[in-house]
Structure 1
Amino acid sequence: MKPALVGDIGGTNARFALWRDNQLHHVRVLATADYTSPEQAIAAYLDEQGIARGELTAVCLAVAGPVHGDEFRFTNSHWRLSRQAFCKTLQVERLQLINDFSAMALGMTRLQEGEFRVVCEGEADLSRPALVIGPGTGLGVGSLLSLGDQRWLALPGEGGHVDLPVGNAREAAIRQLIELEIGHVSAETVLSGGGLVRLYQAICALDGHAPAFKSPAEITDAALAGDAVALSVIEQFCRFLGRVAGNNVLTLGGRGGVYIVGGVIPRFAELFLRSGFAGSFADKGCMSGYFKGVPVWLVTAEFSGLLGAGVALQQA
């Protein structure tokens, strides 16, 4: 039986796999910077697997950004994609494009034991939407709703680009410093890999420290080693994430639970679990009680977006 191909393409990495028997096979991760287009990267993957053009039954790609029309422009990379040109180049009859966090949301339906950790205890109400949110190259936000009979609806959106919320005077001062530098301050401006560096610089300026670190990895490593400034940055990062996640839960009525995904948080999982995330998450004044019993999980599964692309193919 001919295979299908699934892909999960972010700003930094593109993950590809073959989809057979509702499972992933031959997963590969390629750097987007190494290829001029998704077609070139997929061609290299197919060559590696010994699959000729025209042998795929279908392709489903999870892509970072809003999906509509023939042409798709990736939000956080130089890649572009035309559906017609893609199908012609790779000799594919059916190309399905879905938002990357719609795929991530669908991937949550395939989580296994050991692939998540409990952040906030609670019981998911499966009649209500679940929130999927994750800092990575950008800040992805998606939602998931059970339709019954093992079918799911993933609702795409661009919730990472909402305004960054603040809950106290210090957070307002941090936001003001960032706004003076770049203008509009979205949640993604801070809650992403690059945003971690921007937050570090703002906190250094606010507290009178000379910046010593230049990359997310350096800041994270310093925090894990006990550096006080880096620890304060990680703590504030977690608190901002809690505020954004809480706002989304109120907007969605998201008592189906919250899945924290993406590449940033797992790098400092223990610090995150001890952070003020949970307090900021439920810090909503008269609506704080709404969050009682809403479960939150930190997802550590490696290829949820790819699995979600497979689930999308399966449901189609």
Structure 2
Amino acid sequence: MTGRDRGDRRWYTAITSNGALLGLVLLFAALALASPNFLSVANMTNIGIQASVVAILAFGMTFVIITGGIDLSVGSLAALSAVAAGWAGTVGGMAPVPALVIGLFVGAAAGAVNGIMVAFGKIPSFIATLALLSIGRGLTLVISGGTPIATSGPITWLGSRIGGWFPVPILVMIVMGIIASIILNKTLAGRTMYAIGGNEEAARLSGLAVRRNLIYVYVLAGLFAGVAGMVLAGRLSSAQPQAAAGYELDAIAAVVIGGASLSGGVGKISGTLIGALVLAIIRNGLNLLNVNPFWQQVAIGVVIALAVLADSLRRRFRAA
């Protein structure tokens, strides 16, 4: 390899490794020039709040995608967790904090069901989580009777502001991002996720507990979905049975935009956060520019397609 080839490779690696951040900066600059209201404090805060639920879901999704899987159930699990907590606090008569814990437990338990189907049932993650998506939505409607359930206490606080100005959803997003980053980068479980995504059979032959770790991954995804559901319920001041519909697709998009590979083995939490912010900024900017909502969906789809194309090019470059 010549010096020029090595230089080209370094430039390519730098651009592809930081492509999401570069895209975020360019998008931010373009919208700041296009709309005078974009840089206002109120709008920046609004973007953070809009990104929070998707980002928390996407943090859990990152674990799954790194192992080479996909989780289509996180949106329904977010709604199911919130409705379970709301039901426990109203119909069940539980205190607010135990009711919230029940909701989080429901999300984690549903994630465990996903993990068992994938790890022991050998069901493709796409099919297993698609089934639980339907089951979760159905249970949400059964528990709630199809009507919103009022929330109170800590769940309502999750949608409020600290000191009347700093949004709690943004704080929760930051805390959950830090926790996810520690799990992924500082623990054996996190390193095992990368190993499973890189080559599951090699990880198994190396003595890693692949099945147990896969269950752990889906439990984490369900738990993070539960937290996202609580934040969304706090923002809406009620647990809505149809809440977070379609959010699983936004979560997957955020992870892919952030540089994770759908083939597994690649991904980071900081990239996922950037991906969630990119989606929120696109929607916010297009709203400020009065773009038709139908065209907004087209724009989001184009961004996702470009992110997947970039992932494909990265994998081909590594193979070469």
Is TM-score (shorter-chain normalized) higher than 0.5?
Answer: no
Greater strand share, 1 or 2? 1
TM (norm. structure 2) is 0.31
- Normalising by structure 1, report the TM-score: 0.32
